[in-house]
Amino acid sequence: MNIALYLRNTDTENEHSQRFADSPQLERLITLLNDRGVQTHIVHDHLPSCHLDFLLSIGGDGTLLSSVHLIANRDIPVLGVNFGHLGFLTTAGRDNIDSLVSDLMAGRYTLEPRTLLHVEARDAGGSLSTFALNEVSLHRFDDAPLLRTDLYVGDDFVANYAGDGLIVATPTGSTAYSLSCGGPILTPDSGCFVITPIGVHNLTLRPIIVPDTAMLRLVTHAQPQQFSLGMDSRRQRLAYGAEINLSRQDFSIRLVRLGHQSFFSAIHQKLGWGGVPPRQ
């Protein structure tokens, strides 16, 4: 078995990556895997050419989002190991390395397919094509006027949003930026996207859920300034007047859940929902 251990290595993350790389928990994780006959590969910027059975993302949610773009369509299951803070997308923490390895080796896990957003964007300066696991967001800069965006679902005009921006989130991303802006929580298998306004000036414009088979088109009104296009943890400057087309990506990412974990157990544990399950 071959397992890659991914540590994000960017200019802004070097200090954190080095801290994780030197941690005794990571050393123990590697030792436990090697003792089980697993070949481990530390990766930063690219994957090895050999077949990989799993990729373990070492860090927080930002690291896991970055690892997804490293994998793309290679269909390698991703298991998030939380060396960061909240780690909603991660499955295990630094304090339960032993049970992580035991569950993984014993096959006590499930694989959850996660929908991706395909992104096509263009403005006067060029075009880009990529994908996002959490969300795509449009946001005005602090000193810029309101960002005015027309939303189309298929050929139907939905609304003009005038405010700080707009979020289109997958079910995975519904517990991230969209949730903080008042969007609903979607289960991973719900088969839809949620469109959530950011600081919109028309208070009747509420979050709306559309099927993930829909083709979405966002058209920004022409002005001389620029705005920010966010795709998970990456950002791109685009000029007003840009057009962004969104659809379901033709491949998905599989996240690993260990043992008896579920989406709702993660909600209880990491979002602090109250109550305990009744006795059967």
**Which pLDDT tens digit goes with each residue over 102-154?**
999 999 999 999 999 999 999 888 899 999 999 999 999 988 889 999 999 99
Give pLDDT, residue 189: 95
Residues near 86 by beta carbon (within 8 Å), at least 6 away in sequence: 60, 61, 270
Give pLDDT, residue 13: 46
Cβ atoms within 10 A of the Cβ of 255, count?
23
Say yes or no: domain 117-248 is CATH 2.60.200.30: yes
Q: Catalytic site residues?
A: 61
**Measured distance CA(60)–CA(8) in Å, rounded:** 10
Per domain, the residue ranges of the chain are 2-114+252-271, 117-248
Beta strands in the chain (DSSP E): 2-6, 39-43, 54-59, 78-82, 92-93, 109-114, 117-123, 126-132, 135-140, 147-153, 156-163, 165-169, 192-198, 208-211, 216-220, 226-231, 234-239, 243-248, 253-258
Supply the pTM of this predicted model.
0.91
Give pLDDT, residue 88: 82
**Measured distance CA(212)–CA(193) in Å, rounded:** 6
Give pLDDT, residue 10: 52
Give pLDDT, residue 278: 67
Give pLDDT, residue 15: 47
Q: Which CATH number fits domain 2-114+252-271: 3.30.465.10, 3.40.50.720, 3.40.50.10330, 3.40.50.300?
A: 3.40.50.10330
**Measured distance CA(225)–CA(240) in Å, rounded:** 6
Q: What is the mean pLDDT of each run of 10 residues along the chain (280 residues)?
A: 88 48 84 97 93 95 93 96 80 88 95 97 91 97 89 97 96 96 96 97 94 97 85 92 96 92 83 70
